[in-house]
Amino acid sequence: MNVTTYFTSIGHAANTILEGMAVTFSHLFRKPITFQYPDRIDRPLSTTLPDRYRGLLEVQIDICTGCRRCERVCPIACIALDFGKNPETKAREMTRFDIDLGKCMFCGLCVEECKLNSTGAIRHTREFEGTTEVLGALTFRFIEPAKPRPLYKAPKDKSEIPLGPYGPWAREARERAQRDNPALVRERLARWREERERAS
């Protein structure tokens, strides 16, 4: 490399740096298009989401027939249902309805299947906050372990199905998942043991 090329390269490098700095500096005087979440927004963020936004899944358990269509159609086995028999009435009841949202790809197949062929109990909400310390705690639990639910008998006329508001079931399941999910409990216990060993 001769001296001229050498100094030309230095000139180009300096020019590039200055151009970059000029772009960066110009942002100081522009109105920001981002905003601080969650404490500096003037309306709930969920109201700003697009109409077809697919948020966290929820199941309105009181209109779930336990038909397992959603479970069967899910391509990656996110949904798990279990059933038992009520010891007194001998009626079939649902003992588990879990959705592993850590695996879910939000394809919406379960929602479509339930809407078309069942009651519409499973649906996407506009909820999106699912942050957790442990991946396993993203398994949303729509039935409390000790509280089995009776199966809903759907009327022939779908317009009679009492569809409730979207959101509360997802929020409740998320709280349950983060409160008493076995994965979370195991993780916390392991961490507590590690800290105790380190301290002793």
Q: Contact residues for ligand SF4 (CB under 6 A)?
A: 57, 59, 64-70, 74, 76, 78-79, 99, 104-110, 113-114, 118-119, 121-122
CB of 184 to ligand SF4, least distance (A): 20
- Cα(167)–Cα(146) distance, integer angstroms: 23
In contact, 184 and 137? CB cutoff 8 Å: yes
For ligand SF4, give the closer residue by CB, 78 or 170.
Answer: 78
CB of 48 to ligand SF4, least distance (A): 23
For ligand SF4, give the closer residue by CB, 57 or 138.
Answer: 57
For ligand SF4, give the closer residue by CB, 63 or 184.
Answer: 63
CB of 136 to ligand SF4, least distance (A): 16
CB of 59 to ligand SF4, least distance (A): 5
Distance of CA 103 to the CA centre of its chain: 10
- Cα(85)–Cα(90) distance, integer angstroms: 5
Q: What is the CB-side half-sphere exposure of residue 117 using CA atoms within 13 A?
A: 12
- Cα(56)–Cα(71) distance, integer angstroms: 16
In contact, 124 and 111? CB cutoff 8 Å: yes
For ligand SF4, give the closer residue by CB, 171 or 185.
Answer: 171
